[in-house]
Amino acid sequence: MTYDLVLAVLVILSIHFVYSVQQDAYSLLFTDNKDVFLNKPIHFQYPLPKWLRGSLVRTGPAMFGMGKRNFTHAFDGFGKIYNWKFYGNGSTSFSQDFLRSETYNVSGEIKDIANFLTFESVSPPFPLDRREISVLNGFDNTNVNVYRLFNQEKESYEYITLTDAWKVYQFEPTSINTIGEIDPPNPRGTYIGFIDTMSSAHPVPEHNSSYHFTFLTSVSLIPKVKSRLSVIRMKSAFDRELVAQWEVDKAPYMHSFSVTPRYVILFAAAYYTNIGKMLKYANAYEGLEWFPSEKATIYVVEIKTGNVHTIQTENGFPSHHVNAYEDNNKIIMDVTMFQDPAYSKIYELETLRSPTKRQNAQYTPSEIKRYSINLNATNVTVSTFSPNSIFPFINNFDFPCINEMYRHRKYCYIYGVATKRNNKLFSSTALVKKDVCGTNQDSAFALDNHYPVDMWFIPIPNSTREDDGILLTPVLDGDKRQSYLLMLDANTMAPINRAYLPSLVPFTMHGRFFSDLI
């Protein structure tokens, strides 16, 4: 073999190696991070704006097994809480600690994954005699979202982590200490024969109020007794108030919902709980059934009266509701919609950790859809947004956020995460700004081998323009194999600052910025 041929082979091999390393960097988002620390200083490249003060608090899965047993799905990893503190003087710190939930504590004690309900199965599977216990214990690992509720009696905020379950966990955000679980009493009362477990990881603020709304799905265990849906007002982390309740033939699974000044709107896809399968398999995914040929149901609940309007529409699985507002006699509601719930299969850890399996996995990105609901005519019109030749992925995103000052009212801009932006690789990710008012303000930002998660919008004080603000999101730098916090200009989507972190941050689900929390 000649020298030139050897050199050519080495070059080809080196290129393949670099490509493989780049592709494999994405899997770092789904590896364990057991680091725990408080207030480690971090340093941004450029000086921070003087008005930026507060804390970005996020949560997500950070450990994917215990002992000889492992989770098989990313959504099930033991939850961790992160806090980036901006002190208002140009300095910043970063903290992280595990949510000390019962499932986390017991799992650590027994050196095995404890018996609680999971999204998908564990490996090796629980024996049959442990599966029913898991279902009865319900979801305990609240690793999806972070909220705070104002307790008027105590005149203080209560910070909680949530998942799509009724139970929440309270924590102290500056120290990230877990205070304990909260399983609020059902405001409709206790009825034998129902399992009251499913709720929402995305409470929505009530208009002109310190309260929030959520919902509760009560699954009937008694033949010929119908399941129930309830809209609930969250008055504090402990106190719940019933707004409306009605019977349903089947109990739908829902992740998020919408609120306007006068209405709460639930979108119930034809995706229903099968309690027999849930008991058999001891995981949520196998215990849910999809009926693609059936219609979806939109429930519009009048907040003042509790009256419920029921409207049928085309089926599809709504991942996240963006925002809703009232326009004369119509409700305008924007939702990121998947064709079906099968998209969640790509978040199985075996797939996420393999470049080949990620590339070959069947995944159709979500699409932003607008629902115009006419209550007078009891009908709904579904529309999509015009394509963009510069950013062909601009309408296919999830994990939306908005300027929260425009919650419940007409708005123009949605920010989100577009996966599979090149229509080939699931890990090819862009951060997008979608203009839903049609004023040609679509924009996006992406870097190859950099992997962001969802963003949070922080408005610039005293600004009168909706998109005058900054966006914060954690990003994995696949080249350096390090995480950093990225700051984007919300108007142009141009990067304006970043700070590398002392620890690699796995995939985080959601979070919020609290401007008065240090």
| pLDDT computed for residue 45 by the predictor | 97
pLDDT one-digit tens code per residue, 338-396: 999 999 999 999 999 999 999 888 889 999 999 999 988 789 999 999 999 999 999 99
User: What type of residue sits at position 215?
Assistant: F
Does pLDDT of 17 surpass 60?
Answer: no
pLDDT band per the 50, 70, 90 thresholds, residue 138: confident
Confidence of residue 52 (pLDDT cuts 50, 70, 90): very high
Residue type, 41: P
Residue 477 has pLDDT above 80, yes or no: yes
Model confidence band, residue 148 (pLDDT cutoffs 50, 70, 90): very high
Q: Which residues are annotated binding-site positions for Fe cation? A: 202, 255, 320, 510
Q: What are the tokens at 183?
A: 């399983």
The neighbour count for residue 87, using CB atoms within 10 Å, is 14
Residue 441 tokens read as 């303000």
Does pLDDT of 497 surpass 60?
A: yes
Annotated binding site: 202, 255, 320, 510
Q: Residue 389: exposed, middle, or buried by beta-carbon count in 10 A (0-12, 13-18, 19+)? A: exposed
Question: What is the token pair recorded at 252?
Answer: 């739908």
Please choose, from the candidates 316, 287, 305, 295, the residue with its C-alpha nearest in 3D space to the C-alpha of residue 244.
Answer: 305
Cβ atoms of 338 and 319 within 8 Å: the answer is yes
Mean pLDDT within 23-45: 94
3-state helix, strand, coil in the chain (%, to 5): 15, 40, 45
Give the pLDDT score at 455.
Answer: 98
Cross-strand partners of 471: 457, 488
Is the pLDDT at 191 greater than 80, yes or no? Answer: no
Q: What is the pLDDT of residue 501?
A: 98
Strand boundaries in 391-481, DSSP class E: 398-401, 413-418, 430-435, 443-445, 450-452, 456-459, 469-477
Distance separating alpha carbons of residues 256 and 315, to the nearest angstrom = 16
User: Distance between CA atoms of 469 and 452, rounded to whole angstroms?
Assistant: 19
- Burial class for 112, CB neighbours closer than 10 Å (0-12, 13-18, 19+): middle
List the structure tokens of 381.
């019109």
In angstroms, the CA 513 to CA 334 distance is: 23
Asked if residue 217 has pLDDT above 90, the reply is yes
Beta carbons within 10 angstroms of residue 276's beta carbon: 9
What is the residue-averaged pLDDT of the chain?
A: 92
What are the extents of the domains in the chain?
A: 3-514
Q: What pLDDT score was predicted for residue 469?
A: 98
What band does 136 get if pLDDT is binned at 50, 70 and 90? Answer: confident
Closest CA to 257 of 316, 331, 199, 202: 202
Q: Flag whether pLDDT at 255 surpasses 90.
A: yes
Our CA angle for 424, 355, 145, nearest 5°, is 85
9: three-class secondary structure by DSSP:
helix
Tell me the fold of 3-514: Methanol Dehydrogenase; Chain A (2.140.10)
| Separation of alpha carbons 9 and 329, rounded Å | 69
Q: 3-class secondary structure for 283-340?
A: ECCCCEEECCCCCEEEEEEECCCCCEEEEEECCCEEEEEEEEEEECCEEEEEEEEECC
Q: Is the pLDDT of residue 65 over 60?
A: yes
What single string gives the DSSP state of each residue in 134-172?
A: HHHH------SEEEEEEETTTTEEEEEEE-SSS-EEEEE
Residue 126's pLDDT is: 87
Q: Tell me the Cα Rg of the chain.
A: 23
Residues above pLDDT 70, as percent of the chain: 95
Other CB atoms within 10 Å distance of the CB of residue 212: 20
218-227, 367-376, 502-511 — which is least confidently predicted?
A: 218-227
The DSSP H or E segment spanning 487 is strand 482-489
- Greatest Cα pair distance, the chain, in angstroms, is 85
Q: Which residues contact 15 (CB under 8 A, 6 or more apart)?
A: none
Reduce the DSSP state of residue 129 to 3 states and report it. helix
Give the Cβ contact number of residue 415 at 10 Å: 27
Determine contact, residues 169/158, Cβ cutoff 8 Å: no
E strand or H helix at 12: helix 3-25
63 alpha carbon, distance to own chain's centre: 18
Identity (one letter) of the amino acid at 326? E
List, for residues 81-123, the tens digit of each pLDDT value.
Answer: 999 999 999 999 999 999 999 999 999 999 999 999 899 999 9
Cα–Cα distance measured from residue 384 to residue 365, given in angstroms and rounded to the nearest whole number: 14
Single out the residue of 190, 245, 191, 236 nearest to residue 216, CA to CA: 245
Residue 21's pLDDT is 44
- The whole-number pLDDT of residue 137 equals 83
Q: CA dist 321 to 22, 329, 365, 512, Å?
A: 33, 20, 16, 16
Express each pLDDT in 168-188 by its tens digit: 999 999 999 999 999 998 887
Element (H, E) at 263: strand 263-268
